[in-house]
Amino acid sequence: MSTPFWVAGKPVTRAETAVVRHSYDDSEAGTHAVPADADVEEAVAAAHAVRAEAAALPAHVRAGALDHVSRALTERAEEFAALITAESAKPIKWARAEVGRAASTFRWAAEEARRFAGELQRLDTDPGGTGRFALVRRVPRGPVLGITPFNFPLNLVAHKVAPAIAVGAPIVLKPAPATPLTALALGEVLAETGLPAGSWSVLPVGNDAAARLVTDPRLPVVSFTGSVPVGWGIRDAAPRKHVTLELGGNAAVIVAPDWPDLDFAAERIATFAMYQAGQSCISVQRVYAHADVFGELSERVVAKVRALGTGDPRSPRTDVGPLINTAAARRVESWIDEAVAAGARRDTGGGRHGATVAPTVLTHVPEDVSVQADEVFGPVVSVNRVASVDEALRLVNASRFGLQAGVFTRDLPTAFHASATLDVGGVVVGDVPSFRADQMPYGGVKDSGVGREGPAAAMTDLTEERVTVLTGL
Enumerate the active-site residues: 246, 281
Annotate 211-230 with b (16+ C-beta within 10 A) or e (fewer): eebbebebbbbbbbbbebeb
Q: Does residue 356 bind ligand NAD (CB under 6 A)?
A: no
CB proximity list for 324: less than 8 A, separation 6 or greater: 23, 88, 89, 150, 151, 178, 279, 355
Applying CB under 6 A, does 223 fall inside the site for ligand NAD? Answer: no
Work out whether 344 is an interface residue with ligand NAD (CB under 6 A). Answer: no
- Least separation in angstroms between CB 36 and ligand NAD: 18
- Residue 19 belongs to what H/E stretch? strand 17-21
Which part of the chain contacts ligand NAD (CB under 6 A), choosing from 53-61, 144-152, 262-270, 289-297?
A: 144-152
Does 177 participate in binding ligand NAD (rule CB under 6 A)?
A: yes
| Beta strands per DSSP E along 398-446 | 401-402, 404-408, 426-429, 445-446
Minimum distance from CB of 151 to ligand NAD (Å)? 5
Q: How far apart are CA 82 and CA 46, in angstroms?
A: 32
Name the one range near ligand NAD by CB under 6 A: 65-73, 108-116, 146-154, 383-391: 146-154
Write the DSSP assignment of 93-159 as a string of letters: HHHHHHHHHHHHHHHHHHHHHHH---EEEE-TTSGGGTTEEEEEEEEE-S-EEEE--SSSTTHHHHH
252 near ligand NAD, rule: CB under 6 A: no
- The one-letter amino acid at 450: V
Complex with ligand NAD: residue 57 or 176, whichever CB lies closer: 176
Distance, in Å, from the CA atom of 277 to the CA atom of 310, rounded to the nearest integer, reads 9
What mask of x and - would describe binding to ligand NAD in positions 436 to 455, judged by CB under 6 A? --------x----x------
3-class DSSP state of 205: coil
Count of residues binding ligand NAD (CB under 6 A)? 28
- 211 near ligand NAD (CB under 6 A): yes
Give the end-to-end CA distance of the chain in Å, rounded to a whole number: 63
> Which has the closest alpha carbon to 154: 185, 178, 183?
183
Q: In angstroms, give the least distance from the CB of 40 to ligand NAD.
A: 13
Give yes or no for residue 149 binding ligand NAD (CB under 6 A).
Answer: yes
Q: By C-alpha distance, which of 87, 5, 35, 323 is closest to 206? A: 35
The secondary structure element, H or E, covering residue 470 is strand 463-471
Q: Output the residue with the shortest Cβ distance to ligand NAD.
A: 226
Q: Is residue 401 a contact residue for ligand NAD (CB under 6 A)?
A: no
- Of the two residues 196 and 220, which places its CB atom closer to ligand NAD in the complex? 220
Find the part of the chain contacting ligand NAD (CB under 6 A) among 27-35, 78-86, 208-216, 382-390.
208-216
Shortest separation between residue 122's beta carbon and ligand NAD, angstroms: 38
Considering only 83-91, 241-249, 298-306, 381-389, which stretch makes contact with ligand NAD by CB under 6 A?
241-249
**Which residues contact ligand NAD (rule: CB under 6 A)?**
147-152, 156, 174, 176-177, 207, 210-211, 214, 225-227, 230, 234, 246-248, 281, 375, 377, 403, 444, 449
